[in-house]
Amino acid sequence: MAMNVGSGGGSDEPMVEMNTTPLIDVLLVLLIMLIITIPIMTHGTKLDMPQANNAPPPDMRPEVVDLEIDFDGTIVWNGTVVSGIPQLEGFFQQEAQKPVQPELHLRPDRRAKYETVALVLAAAQRRGMTKMGFVNTAEFGIKVSANWP
């Protein structure tokens, strides 16, 4: 608290000195917050980086299975029309048993029923297909990058 002790009478001059007590309080609070948050920022994350002496794996492109779903529910497996879900499940089972599982590129028509697409995805999952993705989604405004490990 500042107190003006001056020459007797009540002068109406404004006080020129600034009260710095609130400024010091704010600076102390900021300093305490900085001290508390510094240990949080110094925590490291352990990453398993590849060793320099390991050779990179050969660039092998996996086999691709194109699966199209037409607007009327017609399912096309690599250019061959599939008669139904049971035949499609047989195809999935054959492909899932291969040593290197192929990628399943699903291309549904934008007018295809969601039920048909969901049945195909569920059948693929039931039969052990793990590498699935949607292709040709540019017409929907979606960008998909296929960077496989």
Give pLDDT, residue 7: 55
When divided into structural domains, the chain yields a total of: 1
Q: Is residue 22, in this structure, part of any structural domain at all?
A: no
Q: Is residue 82, in this structure, part of any structural domain at all?
A: yes
Q: Is residue 100, in this structure, part of any structural domain at all?
A: yes
72: CATH: 3.30.420
Give pLDDT, residue 31: 93
Q: Is residue 99, in this structure, part of any structural domain at all?
A: yes
Transcribe 77-134 into DSSP letters. Answer: ETTEEE--HHHHHHHHHHHHTSSSPPEEEEEE-TTS-HHHHHHHHHHHHHTT---EEE
pLDDT per residue of the chain (149 residues) written in tens, 0 to 9: 555 555 555 667 777 788 888 899 999 999 999 888 877 666 666 777 767 776 666 667 778 888 999 989 899 998 889 988 899 999 999 988 888 888 889 998 888 888 998 999 999 998 888 888 888 655 554 444 444 44
Of 134, 60, 121, 39, nearest to 88 (Cα)? 121
Q: Is residue 122, in this structure, part of any structural domain at all?
A: yes
- pTM of the full predicted structure? 0.53
The domain of 93 spans 64-140
Give pLDDT, residue 149: 41
Q: Is residue 133, in this structure, part of any structural domain at all?
A: yes
Burial of 40 (0-12, 13-18, 19+ CB in 10 A): exposed
Q: Is residue 89, in this structure, part of any structural domain at all?
A: yes
Q: Is residue 56, in this structure, part of any structural domain at all?
A: no
